[in-house]
Amino acid sequence: MSADLDAASRAVPHLARIHLGRAAVQTLADQVGVRLIHIKGDTVDRSIRPNSPPGTDVDVMVHPDQVSVLDRALRAHDWRIYSTFVGGSPFGHAQTYVHDTWGYLDVHRSFPGIGLDAARAFDHLWFSRGAVDVARIRCPVPDVSAQAVISILNAARSRRPSGLERAWPDLELERRKAIEEEVDALGARLAFDAAFGRLDVHRGAPEYRLWKAVTEGGSRLDEWWGRILAEPKLSARVTIALRAPLVNRAHLEHHLGRPPTSRDVLYEFLNRPIRGVRELLQRRS
């Protein structure tokens, strides 16, 4: 976190900053004609997140065809890219921005675990959307069943059982049925089952190894191999394989707390295969 952002965070109460930042992003999206849906955090229905904190950033899902439009608008209004789609996560689903006043923003072009094509998934969520008022700004949100699915998928990926407890076990049968229907509509059955320890029924599916590494804490080698297998196109698999040994400069900068030098990058590059061999030896021991 930059010194300027840290100072702004101390000056503005956290909840107020989240609310105002969310309203600012929605206002900007409205101005440039971008459809976005607010997910996670303080826009989630209270029945799914009772007594839970509002989160640390703003998360929105954007139609993939409009990501570039929103990106230009954000950067024109002093939002800076913190991590990219390519380097942010093994799913390549979100790009993170930071603003000295409003804090962090995750722009999702897809959501991990939703198997439906990203554009069709967004249209599905948009069609059944609701809305909440944040700082007197109308913010679109998924309907409650879709919110529950997203919360469950997020809990699975982040390995947070509390998210499952809030979104599923105590619900009445009719609510569970509606959530199950939404799971199937979004093509999210594999990740949904992974959340409840049933991933092995999907053994052989292209995404199986990636979700196994993510939900069960596999090694970096397991994760990269899972990413390769999850890609349906050979060209994308080759690209991921070629990128695997490269240093993620953004992650290294965040780790060091400063821009990496050429020596830092070289040191990290040389140490990656060493760590990979160490992981293999640990698995065999």
Residues 55 and 138 in one domain: yes
Q: What is the mean pLDDT of residues 63-77?
A: 96
Predicted pLDDT of residue 267: 52
Residues 12 and 129 in one domain: yes
Residues 130 and 22 in one domain: yes
Residues 226 and 283 in one domain: no
% of the chain exceeding 90 in pLDDT: 42
Predicted pLDDT of residue 15: 78
Predicted pLDDT of residue 23: 94
Predicted pLDDT of residue 254: 57
Strand partners, 138: 133
Tell me whether strands 94-99 and 80-83 are parallel, antiparallel or unpaired. antiparallel
pLDDT in tens, 213-270: 888 876 777 776 677 777 777 776 666 666 655 556 556 555 666 666 656 545 555 5
Residues 19 and 48 in one domain: yes
Predicted pLDDT of residue 269: 52
Predicted pLDDT of residue 1: 45
Predicted pLDDT of residue 3: 47
Residues 96 and 35 in one domain: yes
* 36 belongs to a structural domain: yes
pLDDT in tens, 166-201: 666 666 778 888 999 999 999 999 999 999 889 999
Cβ atoms of 250 and 82 closer than 8 Å: yes
Q: What is the rounded distance in angstroms from the CA atom of residue 265 to the CA atom of residue 150?
A: 36
* 127 belongs to a structural domain: yes
Residues 232 and 267 in one domain: no
The CATH number of whichever domain residue 107 belongs to comes to 3.30.460
CA gyration radius for the chain? Answer: 20
Residues 23 and 116 in one domain: yes
* 160 belongs to a structural domain: no
pLDDT in tens, 235-245: 766 666 666 55
Residue type, 45: D
Residues 15 and 137 in one domain: yes
pLDDT in tens, 89-127: 778 889 999 999 899 999 999 999 999 999 999 999 999
Residues 121 and 209 in one domain: no
Residues 118 and 233 in one domain: no
* 60 belongs to a structural domain: yes
pLDDT in tens, 33-57: 999 999 988 888 888 876 666 677 8
- Domain interval for residue 222: 203-244
Residues 136 and 215 in one domain: no
Q: Look at 104-108, 117-121, 151-155, 160-164 and tell me which has the smallest mean pLDDT.
A: 160-164
* 153 belongs to a structural domain: no
Q: What is the mean pLDDT of residues 68-89?
A: 88
pLDDT in tens, 2-20: 544 555 555 677 778 888 9
Cβ atoms of 102 and 145 closer than 8 Å: no
Domain count, the chain: 3
* 124 belongs to a structural domain: yes
* 191 belongs to a structural domain: no
* 192 belongs to a structural domain: no
